Amino acid sequence: MTTTLSPRGWENHPPYVYPGYKSTVKRGPTKPLVPLKAAPGEIAQPVYGHDAVGELDHDLTRNARRNGEPIGERMVLTGQVLDDRRRPVANTLVELWQANACGRYVHKADQHDAPLDPNFLGAGRCMTDSEGRYRFLTIKPGAYPWGNHPNAWRPQHIHLSLFGQHFASRLVTQMYFPGDPLHQYDPMVMSAPERLRRRLIADFSLDVTEEGYALGYVFDMVLRGADETPFENR
């Protein structure tokens, strides 16, 4: 039996160079890619396995604690990784990184005048289960200024990446929150085709919400096909 995949919908993803997002003009590729041949004996795909993922890697409320709880609104983020026929993609590595509740990243390049949280790293990872599901417990990130244009603020968002069968098969996207008034002003959101922007916004879920502890959001990621999620590195 031969399995065929839907063709890539290149028009469904943001362009590498989008003038409204100024830094893409400098870092976006403008020349054709150069294919590289793998050297003999070179590992062709990542070797992860559940033993390579720590017990608390998925829980950003605990994986960087030093002297207390991280500050901010706790949240659960879950969803499925699906292929073009909406079949679950099991045992794939999902990585997450984000700003803290005040809108600041733990990175020396982030000089935003907002406090760092000593108990929050803003990074985690997990493997999808047999049903293609992933789950993170984290803190809802804050908006932050980023200097792209006058009075520019990035909406609250979470970065997510997926690893496939090969090192080069990494897909990166951003998840946004429902009802954020900054969506319409953000070049990253607006660079996605208008008909697909809704696919970048998570759904609030009372079923995922943990009573008395954390609100729940669902964000499915579809690799290709009619329901394809817009990815940054198409």
Residue 125 CA to chain centroid, in angstroms?
11
| pLDDT tens profile 148-194 | 999 999 999 999 999 876 656 789 999 999 999 999 999 999 999 99
DSSP state of 143: P
Dihedral of CA atoms 59, 121, 47, 231 in degrees, nearest 10, equals 90
For the chain, how many structural domains are there in total? 1
The answer to whether 127 and 95 have CB atoms below 8 angstroms apart is no
Structural domain contains residue 227: no
Give the end-to-end CA distance of the chain in Å, rounded to a whole number: 28
Catalytic positions are 105, 144, 154, 157, 159
CATH code of 122's domain = 2.60.130.10
Q: Would the pLDDT of 78 be above 80?
A: yes
H helix or E strand, kind and range, residue 144: strand 144-145
| pLDDT tens profile 117-140 | 999 999 999 999 999 999 999 999
Which residue has better confidence, 155 or 7? Answer: 155
Over residues 22-35, mean pLDDT: 81
Structural domain contains residue 7: no
Beta carbons within 10 angstroms of residue 198's beta carbon: 11
Structural domain contains residue 71: yes
H helix or E strand, kind and range, residue 22: helix 22-27
Q: Of the candidates 200, 102, 112, 203, which has an alpha carbon nearest to the alpha carbon of residue 159?
A: 200
Structural domain contains residue 9: no
Structural domain contains residue 234: no
Q: In angstroms, rounded to a whole number, what is the distance separating the alpha carbons of residues 191 and 211?
A: 37
Which residue has better confidence, 230 or 43? Answer: 230
Structural domain contains residue 11: no
Longest distance between any two alpha carbons in the chain, whole Å: 58
Which tokens hold the place of 197? 């922007």
The answer to whether 81 and 92 have CB atoms below 8 angstroms apart is yes
Q: In angstroms, rounded to a whole number, what is the distance separating the alpha carbons of residues 52 and 157?
A: 27
| pTM (predicted TM-score) | 0.85
Q: In angstroms, rounded to a whole number, what is the distance separating the alpha carbons of residues 181 and 9?
A: 29
Structural domain contains residue 229: no
| φ/ψ of residue 164, rounded to 5 | -100, -145
Over residues 103-126, mean pLDDT: 96
Residue 233, pLDDT score: 75
| pLDDT tens profile 196-224 | 999 999 999 999 999 999 999 999 999 98
Q: How confident is the model at residue 38 (pLDDT cuts 50, 70, 90)?
A: low
Q: Would the pLDDT of 43 be above 60?
A: no
Q: Would the pLDDT of 141 be above 90?
A: yes
Q: In angstroms, rounded to a whole number, what is the distance separating the alpha carbons of residues 107 and 199?
A: 28
Q: Domain limits at 135?
A: 46-222
Which residue has better confidence, 28 or 119? Answer: 119
Structural domain contains residue 172: yes
Q: Would the pLDDT of 49 be above 70?
A: no
Which tokens hold the place of 229? 């999620």
